[in-house]
Each structure stands twice: as structure tokens, then as C-alpha cells.
Amino acid sequence: METAVVLPLFVFLILGVLQLGLMHQARLLTKYAAYKAVRTGSLRSASVSEMEHAAVAVMLPMLGKRSSGAGSIEYVRSVGSGQEFATKWNELKNNQMAETDLKNVEVTICGPTQEDVGSGGGELDFDDPSVATSGDWRQSMRTKLRVQVTFNYRLVIPFADWVIYQAARGREIGMHLRMGKVKAAEQAKVSKRKFGSKNKGENPYESAASRGIYIAPIRATYTMRMQSNLVADDDIPARNECIFPFAY
């Protein structure tokens, strides 16, 4: 009787420690990926695609694939040489997570926004003294690129993946929605704004979990002054949509 009660907890303790250790490694790499992404963006006019490529290159050792066939499992190949890096990069450079609608790594520009840059379009000179030395602090932030990197980490340890995912899933819900009941229509509206119209308002993490794929989003932010002209194009958001917004 004692064994039947204690053994599942003991097994979870071992598997949970392994999974949490891997998640800690992923968190450290995500912080570095945020630095590499914002550095690339500062040199490449805040191009989101360029920043995501830089972040994927950093996260490559953590990216895995799902084996084919019945009873498939998630596995991660190591990157111990230049050849292994090149092989894995060619397989995963499209940044699309298999069997889901999610990217492996997503970059969100927290600022500057279209409101900060202005509606006139064109370019904003990164080294314009009138901006960089402006007495208005918010005005001077126009040439500082602020990004958030989200690494969609696929939990790879069986049993621990389900337990950890179910324990953490509430963090994806806005703070103001965690207490009381929420109308289905309102929740769908929030999900659609957050995850895009292609998911028809469906939470892609919940959709993947229903098929036994448990994903934990790990986020990090970084700020760096622009070293190239900021182009007021589609990559510059209308407003700050980061999960952890920068306060002004």
C-alpha cells in the first residue's frame, strides 16, 4: 500500500527534476537569444524575420523533433560540431514547429511603436542628435529597440510534461481573467487578438496539448539602441503587445 502511494510521487520527483533542469537551460538560452535578436534588429532596421533567424540559431541546441510512427516521442539532437549545426539548421531554419501552428521562436517588437515613430512613414535616423539627446525621455526612446523573444519549448520528459503543463497553463490567461467565469465569446476574442486570426481564436497551446504535445512558452526581453535607421514599415507594431510590456 505504501509503495502504491509513494512510487508515483517518487517517479514524478525524478522526472520533474530532469524536466525543470532542461527548462532552466532553455530559460538561460532564451535570455541570450533575446540579446542576439535585438542586436541583429539594431543592425538590420528592426527586421522581425532577421531577428527570428538570429534567435533560432541560438536556440538550435534546444530544438527537437518528434519521431514518426506509433508511440512517437520528442527527441533533441545535440550540436557538438559545425557540421551538426549546419545539418540541424537546414532542418529547422524555417522556424515552424511540427504538428502545431506555432513558431519555435517568436520575436515581438515592444517598442518603438507606430505612435512613437510617427505616422509619416519613411526612416528615422538612429543617430539624429535631435532625437538621441532629446530632453523628452519618451522621445529619446524612439531609437531604442525593445523586443521580447518567446521560445516555445516542447516539454520532452514523459509524465512530467503533462503535470508541469497543467500546473502552469493558468499563466497564459490574463491576470484579470483568472478569477470568476469568463464568457466564451470574450475568451475567444482575447485568444484571437493574442494568437492571430489563422487560429480562429483558438489557443494553439491548448490545441497542441489535446494531441499530447505540451509546450511551455519561455520569454525574455532586451533593449538596445538602434545602429541603423528604423524603417516605419509593417514590422513596427501599432501598440505594445508584449506579454511583459516595458513601462514608460
In a domain, 132, yes or no: yes
Question: What is the overall mean pLDDT for the chain?
Answer: 80
- Compute the average pLDDT of residues 182-189: 50
At 233, the pLDDT band (50, 70, 90 cuts) reads confident
Whether 36 has a pLDDT exceeding 70, the answer reads yes
Position 134 pLDDT exceeds 60: no
Per-residue pLDDT at 198:
46
pLDDT bracket for residue 19 (50, 70, 90): very high
Is the pLDDT at 27 greater than 60, yes or no?
Answer: yes
Q: In whole angstroms, what is the distance from residue 194 CA to residue 100 CA? A: 16
**In-domain check, residue 166:** yes
Distances (CA, A) of 201 to 42, 96, 102, 194, 221: 33, 19, 14, 8, 26
Q: Above 60 in pLDDT, residue 52?
A: yes
Q: Domain residues for 124?
A: 2-231
What total number of domains does the chain contain? 1
Residues in contact with 101: Cβ distance below 8 Å, sequence separation at least 6, in sequence order:
198, 199, 204, 207
Residue 146 is assigned to a structural domain of this protein: yes
